[in-house]
Amino acid sequence: MIRGRALKPCSGCVPPPLPEPVAARPLLLITGASRGIGAAIADLAAQRGYDLVLTYRSDQASAARVAAAAEAHGAGVVIAALDLADPLSIDALFAHLPRPLAGVVNNAAFVGARGPLQDADVEDLSLVITTNVRGTALVCRAAIPRLQPGGVLVTLSSQSAQFGGNGLSVYAATKAALNGLTISLAREIAPLGLRAVAVSPGPVLTEPLRALPPERLAEMAASLPLGRFCSVDDVARTVLWLLSEEAGYISGAVVPVHGAR
Active site residues: 171
pLDDT for residue 4 is more than 60? no
At 23 the pLDDT is 56
At 21 the pLDDT is 47
Tens-digit pLDDT profile for residues 101-118: 999 999 999 999 989 999
- Counting residues of the chain whose pLDDT is more than 70, the rounded percentage is 91
Taking 3-state DSSP, the helix, strand and coil percentages for the chain, each rounded to the nearest 5, stand at: 45, 20, 35
At 16 the pLDDT is 43
**Residue of 21, 79, 22 whose CA lies nearest to 55:** 79
SS3 label, residue 136: helix
Domains of the chain: total? 1
Q: By residue range, what is the domain housing residue 251?
A: 5-257
CATH code for the domain of 233: 3.40.50.720
pTM of the model: 0.89
Q: Which residue has the higher pLDDT, 197 or 259?
A: 197
Tens-digit pLDDT profile for residues 59-101: 999 999 999 999 999 999 999 999 999 999 999 999 989 899 9
C-alpha 25/C-alpha 99 separation (Å) is 11
Helix (H) / strand (E) element for 43: namely helix 36-47
